[in-house]
Amino acid sequence: MVVFLRGCNFKCYYCQNYRIWGAALPVNSDALLREIQRNKDYVSALVFSGGEPTLRLNLLQLLAREAKNEGLLVGIETNGSCPEVLETLIAAQLLDGLFVDLKAPLSNPQKYAQIIGIANASTYVDKIKRAIDIGSEAIAAKRLVEFELRTTLFKGLLSQDEILEMVNEFKTVPYALQQGRAEMCARTDLTTLTRDEIAKLAVQCRRPLRIRTLEKGDEDIV
């Protein structure tokens, strides 16, 4: 069960959920709690996405605690900009899966700023590095069940060298290359990579990777 929380501190060039940056008619927490109760016998996990879910710590704690009480796993998809929230959730044993979306090489704050639509990304880059450290430490200590880094790809947005740098900076962390869907974005200048193009990039990275595409779903590339 996926809960999308509206609002985001980034305005990414290729955001596919741009419609919920400031969406009207939000669902309140009571309604979400009822949905968890209604679906608990048919799902194994509750995953928070967005927007940026870590901007809503109180709501995350409320819903995650209810999910854990019902025996569900809890995951979060995040841009990594609020590492203190991740620390809080892990310390409270309210998080099982952490999925951090990397937008560009962390060595290049200018490129990061370009993609996330922020004038200066240096502070965010430092926070994202901390979020990755938190995930690595938690998975090593068995305080997380799953930890994954992921990057969404469009033709020409990141160079091959930039992709290689990103996936090989964190060789011990599971990494997924995801197919961006140009038809789902507000921008009209984006082009979708094919499954074969992404698989070729993955092979060139020379490390185990997962690719995620519309054509074939999740595939492990060794």
Which residue type, as a one-letter code, is found at position 180?
G
pTM for this entry? 0.94
In this structure, of 15-29, 52-66, 152-166, 189-203, the range with the lowest mean pLDDT score is 15-29
State how far the Cα of 119 lies from the Cα of 161, in Å rounded to an integer: 24
Residue 17: is its pLDDT beyond 90?
Answer: no
Is the Cβ–Cβ distance between 50 and 8 less than 8 Å?
A: yes
Is the Cβ–Cβ distance between 61 and 92 less than 8 Å?
A: yes
Token representation of residue 73: 């796993």
CB burial class (10 A; 0-12, 13-18, 19+) of residue 164? middle
* Residue 191 neighbours by CB under 8 Å, 6+ apart: 154, 155, 156, 182
State how far the Cα of 208 lies from the Cα of 2, in Å rounded to an integer: 27
Average pLDDT over residues 101-126: 95
What is the maximum alpha-carbon separation in the chain? Answer: 48
Where residue 25 falls among pLDDT bands split at 50, 70, 90? low
pLDDT for position 21: 72
CA 192 to each of CA 129, 151, 156, 166: distance values in angstroms, whole numbers, following the listed order: 28, 14, 10, 20
Query: Given CA atoms 6, 174, 13, 121 in this order, what sign does their dihedral have?
Result: positive
Where residue 186 falls among pLDDT bands split at 50, 70, 90? confident
- Domain assignments of the chain as residue spans, ordered by start: 2-221
State how far the Cα of 54 lies from the Cα of 59, in Å rounded to an integer: 9
The CATH fold assigned to 2-221 is TIM Barrel (3.20.20)
CA 109 to each of CA 52, 101, 119, 120, 126: distance values in angstroms, whole numbers, following the listed order: 20, 15, 10, 7, 10
Average pLDDT over residues 23-51: 88
